[in-house]
Amino acid sequence: MSRISDFTGKSAVENIKEALRRARDVEDYHALLSLTEERALERAELVDKGEISGRLAGVPFVVKDNFLAFGAPTTAAAKMLENFEAPLQAMAVEKLEAEGAICIGKANLDAFAHGGSTENSAFGPTKNAADKTRVAGGSSGGSAVVTALDVVPFALGTDTGGSIRQPASFNGVVGVKPTYGAVSRYGVVAMASSTDTIGCFATNADDANLVMEIMAGRDDKDMTTLPDFWQHQPEFTKKKIGLVKQCMTDDVDAAVRQKTLDYAAKLKRLGYDVEEVDLSMMQHSLAMYYIIVPAEISSNLARYDGVRYGHRATEVKTLAELYGRSRNEGFTTENKRRIMIGSFVLSSGFFDAYYMQAQKARTLLINEFKQLFAEYDALLMPVAPTPAFKLGENTNDPIKMYLADIMTVPASLAGLPAISVPAGTSDEGLPIGVQLIGDRQSDSNLLKLASEVEAA
Ligand code: GLN
């Protein structure tokens, strides 16, 4: 797989033409919803003339189709936004463009990022890069697959409960979910505001670190963003890594456990002590996540009413019918399920019993992480209980689909940085990743650690 440095210092027009050619070659994976060809080639010419320069000059990339970007519609893979032309670009995209990077297309996802397989896309599923009969993972499945298939050296995604880490693991690339607030979410379609993060896929940890460093930083347009911390992180000094024992039980696929242990052995060779640790609140994290996140979704998706923008039903007689039919036609089944669960847990009769309880439990989880980071530099665990599952295997059973998120949602609820790094393949040749979770604002240390392991 190629690295960012394979593209810099070359003809940008050639880079872009080659990436577009690759994108067309692998069309049958359905990883991309659109190409931004015209705008990409125009920008490439400006790079070649020296009018645009920077650390990523002429480097092609892809964005998940929930980032507002010029050159193609921003659909969030939902009928609701099928023809939506962005009036502005996401801050993350603007920052990459300011360094000369060139967006060539927009990647498939689960509609509004609700899902873990990219099968919830209104425009059809994406196939796994290593096995076309299997899921890409999700919700940022398309971005993971274009990186794994070497269409582009990096791609952007969003991670609310695992949507970057899990598809990274399923396709054998590096995936970064940063500290909550590290990267501005301005211009990105909102899912759940208290856990939404912007991150990237890359073929190696150093490239991922560079892309994240460029995107990170305070933005007045997103009040949750943190002051720039990317380059000012205190080094890991404890030299201790915690292996989360709740993730190493018999319920977890044997190959997944073995790859995690192999990674632990590599960390030991680099001089780290690896000890088993307890993250007992993890067992409640899915219950918390699937209350808090739908609650926020039901609120964030209320804006799609068929009036201001997005899909509008025709031949309606009343305002209520306009709202109802537009939303019914524009959202997928999974979107509707989450809106209904969210409205239920926020309703006055059930707010205390569900939503408040979930938020209290979340605080206990945060405290448990805090105690672990007093002793350990980072935590090691799998990304998902299994390698990529078969297309269609979990689509009729939402609970089974949600269970696959068990290992990624804890870091999301706690706002912690977490990365997924390739750790080998199963006997069937399916990629398996491992997850490193750090304390807040230790993102680049995690990536440096992963880079050391890659080098060794
Ligand atoms: N699979 C998780 C969910 O369905 C994560 C989604 C995400 O991170 N956007 O909610």
pLDDT given for residue 95 in this prediction? 98
428 band by pLDDT with thresholds 50, 70 and 90: very high
- Residue 411 phi/psi, 5-degree rounding, is -65, -35
- What 3-state DSSP class applies to 160? coil
Structure confidence at residue 84 as a pLDDT band (50, 70, 90): very high
Predicted local distance difference test score (pLDDT) of residue 162: 98
Residue whose CB lies within 8 A of the most ligand 1 atoms, among 160, 337, 409, for a mutation test: 160
The residues near 385 (Cβ < 8 Å, ≥ 6 apart) are 251, 252, 253, 256, 403, 404, 406, 407
pLDDT of residue 233: 87
Ligand 1 within 6 A of CB of 163: yes
pLDDT tens column, 167-210: 999 999 999 999 999 999 999 999 999 999 999 999 999 999 99
User: Is residue 250 predicted with pLDDT exceeding 90?
Assistant: yes
pLDDT of residue 367: 98
Map residue 365 onto helix, strand or coil.
helix
Of ligand 1's atoms, which has the minimum distance to the CA of residue 114?
Answer: 4
Nearest residue to 115 via CA among 431, 453, 394:
394
Q: How far is CA 203 from CA 142, 175, 236, 382, in A?
A: 15, 9, 24, 19
161 lines ligand 1 (CB under 6 A): yes
For the segment 250-274, the average pLDDT, to the nearest whole number, is 98
Active site residue 400: no
Please provide the size of the chain in residues: 456
Strands lying side by side in the sheet with 197-202: 32-35, 102-107, 60-64, 154-159, 197-202, 174-177, 418-425, 431-438, 378-382, 240-244, 273-277
Kind and range of the H or E run holding 310: none
Residue 293: pLDDT over 90: yes
Average pLDDT over residues 430-439: 98
Mean pLDDT rounded to a whole number for the chain: 97
How many angstroms separate the alpha carbon of residue 114 from the centre of ligand 1? 5
pLDDT digits (tens, 9 = 90+) for 27-44: 999 999 999 999 999 999
pTM of the model as a whole: 0.98
pLDDT at 234: 85
Round to the nearest angstrom and report the end-to-end CA distance of the chain. 18
